[in-house]
Structure 1
Amino acid sequence: MFEQQRENIQLHAKQLATEALQKSEPSAWFEVLYAEAQGDAKLIPWAKLAPHPYLQDWLTNHQPFASGKKALVIGCGLGDDAQALANLGFEVTAFDISPTAVAWCKQRFPNSTVNYVVADLLAIPPQWHLGFDFVFECRNIQSLPLNVRSWVISSVASVVAPGGTLLLITRIRDTEAEPSGPPWPLSDSELKQFESLGLQQVEKLEFLESELLEVKHVRIEYHLSFG
């Protein structure tokens, strides 16, 4: 019964995304989904109410120097990843396109030091350009269609400060053929766009995430050199 309920939730999210895409508003469905949930996190298919385990693993094993450093969490959802970074001492900005999600974060973490804001990955505030020492992007790119992929990848890369780190977690695909989605896993050539934008791959880890099926993911650490 639980598996059927989870599958229904995922199918509903996919339906909302498809409808938004048909209206040429590929990111509009996130607010619809969060608003419909009415505070029930079980209705948000990606909400685990805990930091992503592969973010937590990276933080544990790399122990980044966080004091005085600025971090950005892209598409922060319900805020757990942002809180994990703030707990280490980062000065964290976390954004989501959904005002409901951002309000939900503030309600869950009323005493948080995180600056939760509403913003659009396709219209990054200019003051964020090259502005963050650590940037976390988890499965937002894959949620947007291929016709905006280069734009989205450029937006993500644009906020990493010289000397900074981008940690990326995403589904990947083994072919350059366009996948059916959402989500739309990333191809090798799409991942290489980060390097064409000046980011150097430092570490790459592939892993499988098993829920309804085995799905291939990757965690990549990128670094932007000074000058």
Structure 2
Amino acid sequence: MTEPAVPDTTRLAAASLAAGDPTGWFEQLYAEAGAGTAHVPWDVPRPSKLLAEWARDAAVTGAGRRALVVGCGLGRDAEFLAGLGFTTTAFDISATAVRTARERHPDSPVEYAVADLLDPPPQWRGGFDLVCESNNVQALPQPVRDRAIAHVGPLVAPGGTLLVLAAAATGTGTAGPPWPLTRAEIDAFAVPGLTPVRVDELVDADDPLIRRWRAEFRAAG
């Protein structure tokens, strides 16, 4: 019997971690995908379902407000938020991902940038009415993950919102990435000045073993 193929994310992350570079595999993945030798599993033509549902249910409008998308990849969530009227900035550590996002959306109003969540531009601090962290931190191992979590909240402007979407840890260990987040890690996004609005652990309708976090935090105004 043929052994199942190792996902490109697992293969590249393992090599990157073994080399002591916990984030280098992102650029390798997007570069190989551009060359046709790897697959980016989150490269889909629609925004995150949990983001779209949240925006719909909360009747979110971005007019006159700024949004930041953390680890934007190829731009699906950033373009969605721009479509809601947000003045949107989106960043990724992978220069190839950012270049590809710009090429795919040549007329987009989104400001795409190459940046590192572990060392974000200081001018972004407190600068965004909505910060969306969707499935990015879950792709980082410890102890880098704790550093990443600590840098997300300070990007939210006074009175602004942080939305965190991530796989939820269920106690069944699997080879990552992703490495699903625990409730304690979700709670850790509430850095001083941020208060939880609601934290939902959602069960996948098709597979009850799959659970996901959708957590909303609000900055003091």
Q: TM-score under structure 1 normalisation? A: 0.88
**Mapped contact 1:74–1:138 kept (Cα < 8 A):** yes
Q: Secondary structure at the match of 1:162?
A: strand
Shift of 1:205: 2.5
Q: Deviation above 3 Å: which 4+ runs of structure 1?
A: 39-42, 177-180, 208-214
* Identity across matched positions, percent: 42
Alignment partner, residue 148 of structure 1: 144
Equivalent residue for 2:99, pick from 96, 99, 103: 103
Shift of 1:153: 0.6
| Other structure's SS at 2:60 match | coil
* Higher mean displacement: 215-224 or 186-195: 186-195
Note the residue ranges of structure 2 that are not aligned, 5 or more in a row: none
Q: Note the residue ranges of structure 1 that are not aligned, 5 or more in a row.
A: none
Structure that is richer in helix per residue: 1
Measured after TM superposition, the shift of residue 156 of structure 1 is 0.8
Q: Does 1:217 align with 2:212?
A: yes
How large is the Cα RMSD of the aligned pairs? 2.5
Task: After TM superposition, give the deviation of residue 212 of structure 1 in Å.
Answer: 9.1
Match among 39, 47, 50 for residue 43 of structure 1: 39
8 A Cα contact 1:154 1:197, kept in partner: no
Q: Encode CA deviations 1:165-213: one digit per residue, 9 max, x unaligned.
A: 01110012146x9975322111122222123433211122222448999
What amino acid is the match of 1:117?
Answer: A
* 1:183 pairs with one of 173, 178, 182: 178
* TM-score, length basis structure 2: 0.90
2:200 pairs with one of 186, 192, 205: 205
Question: How far has the Cα of 1:129 moved from its partner?
Answer: 0.6
Q: After TM superposition, give the deviation of residue 160 of structure 1 in Å.
A: 0.8
Q: Using the alignment, how far apart are the partners of 2:37 and 2:158 within structure 1? A: 36
Q: Which amino acid aligns with 1:128?
A: W
* SS in structure 2 of the partner of residue 181 of structure 1: coil
